[in-house]
Amino acid sequence: MAAPDLHAAPDFHPKRSLAARIVSAYGQEIVIAAAIVALFVVVSTINPRFLGTNNLNTIIAGNAYIAVAAIGMSMVIITGQIDVSVGALIGVLATISGNLAVSGAPVWIAWIAPVFIGAAISGVTGALVAYGRLPSIVVTLGMLSILKGGLVSVTGGAWINHLPPAFQLAQQRWLGLPVPIWFMVALTLLAFLWMRNTAFGRSLYAIGGNPEAARAAGIPVERRIVQTFMIHGAFAGIATMIFATQLRVIQSTVPPNLELTIITASVIGGVSILGGTGTVIGSTLAAILFAAIGSAMIFVNVSAYWLRAVIGFLILVTVLVDMARRNREFRQ
């Protein structure tokens, strides 16, 4: 047996060149990065204002919360699970955070509370999945109903106004860069390195690849799944921290389709829905790509009503290209 190789995706061709191995292990990330570069080149040729600082800020900072939530989602999907309730969870957490801020709690408590509450709620989901032996799609479908219905029946969908200015974390800048961008970059890199280099992180890939083998190798699979869901809930809480603080109001409803946007970012970023492969760098790049596409359409004068069709089309093309690549590698 060869020494274990530290790449996130297993590489069965150690004799190939370094470049070939990187392409093989991070193919999807490279494809998305190339797509982003191509998009920026093409759109800025048509309309140079696309590359303006303001626009770049809107694209990246305005959608950083999706990338942050997609980090946790990627971990959940890598272990072979899924969470369709994350959009509802973020809606609930944003409402809690806003109400805390308005009621006069110190802003740092309003920022931090969603992280812990998110971890607790997702921990319950994880426990039902791991110890109740329920399929995660069923549990989170149920959680989606509970959170969504609970939120609207408690708040009536009212907006939270009069948020204290100090609460607006996402509007602040550190060293000239908007706070959400710091969060997104730092969390993506930390999560990537953690998942690649620690025993805990690597056990997520092992569980997703083959739960029985992981169990035989001594990994406490049930406990890991609960912990993964808790980490995912904490990431949803951090996403809330920048989502709830970017506007002057918080709408106490569930952002429509948010869970699908987050899952899509993970999956297009190269996280296999079957579990076991993918990185959070891919999911963050995919979140940026989607945001850039939305903005690019405005700059090239395509009706915004076609946005979703374009994104759907791109999802299918990316997936088909990825499948073709995998099938070819499989045959080699």
Q: Which two tokens stand for residue 181?
A: 């961008």
Q: Minimum Å distance from CB 16 to other proteins? A: 25
Closer of 143 and 236 to other proteins (Cβ): 143
Assess 66 for contact with other proteins (CB under 8 A).
no
Name the residue among 35, 30, 33, 25 with its Cα closest to residue 314. 35
Q: Minimum Å distance from CB 207 to other proteins? A: 17
Q: Minimum Å distance from CB 147 to other proteins? A: 8
Assess 138 for contact with other proteins (CB under 8 A).
yes
Per-residue burial over 113-123, b = 16 or more CB atoms within 10 Å of its CB, e = otherwise? bbbebbbebbb
From CA 10, how far away is CA 3, in angstroms rounded?
12
Q: Minimum Å distance from CB 78 to other proteins? A: 15
Closer of 32 and 187 to other proteins (Cβ): 32
Q: Minimum Å distance from CB 239 to other proteins? A: 20
Closer of 133 and 162 to other proteins (Cβ): 133
Among 14, 309, 331, 332, binds other proteins (CB under 8 A): 309
From CA 298, how far away is CA 287, in angstroms rounded?
18
Q: Minimum Å distance from CB 186 to other proteins? A: 29
Residue in the structure block whose two tokens are 């760098």:
281
**Phi/psi of residue 283, each to 5°?**
-70, -35
Among 228, 245, 264, 279, binds other proteins (CB under 8 A): 264
Among 30, 39, 146, 221, binds other proteins (CB under 8 A): 146
Q: What's 244's DSSP letter?
A: T
Closer of 142 and 220 to other proteins (Cβ): 142
3-class DSSP assignment, residue 255: coil
What character string, x for contact with other proteins (CB under 8 A) and - otherwise, covers 191-230? ----------------------------------------
Closer of 174 and 305 to other proteins (Cβ): 305
Assess 274 for contact with other proteins (CB under 8 A).
yes
Assess 159 for contact with other proteins (CB under 8 A).
no
Assess 148 for contact with other proteins (CB under 8 A).
yes
Per-residue burial over 56-65, b = 16 or more CB atoms within 10 Å of its CB, e = otherwise? eeebbbbbbb
**Phi/psi of residue 159, each to 5°?**
-85, 145
Inter-residue contact 244 to 116 (CB < 8 Å)? no
Residue in the structure block whose two tokens are 């499948």:
323
Amino acid at 186: A
| CB proximity list for 323: less than 8 A, separation 6 or greater | none
- List the beta bridge partners of residue 173: 178
Assess 53 for contact with other proteins (CB under 8 A).
no
Assess 133 for contact with other proteins (CB under 8 A).
yes
Q: What's 299's DSSP letter?
A: H
Inter-residue contact 222 to 130 (CB < 8 Å)? yes
Q: Which residues bind other proteins (CB under 8 A)?
A: 82, 84, 128, 132-135, 137-139, 141-153, 256, 260, 263-264, 267, 273-274, 303, 305-313, 315-316, 319-320, 323-324, 327
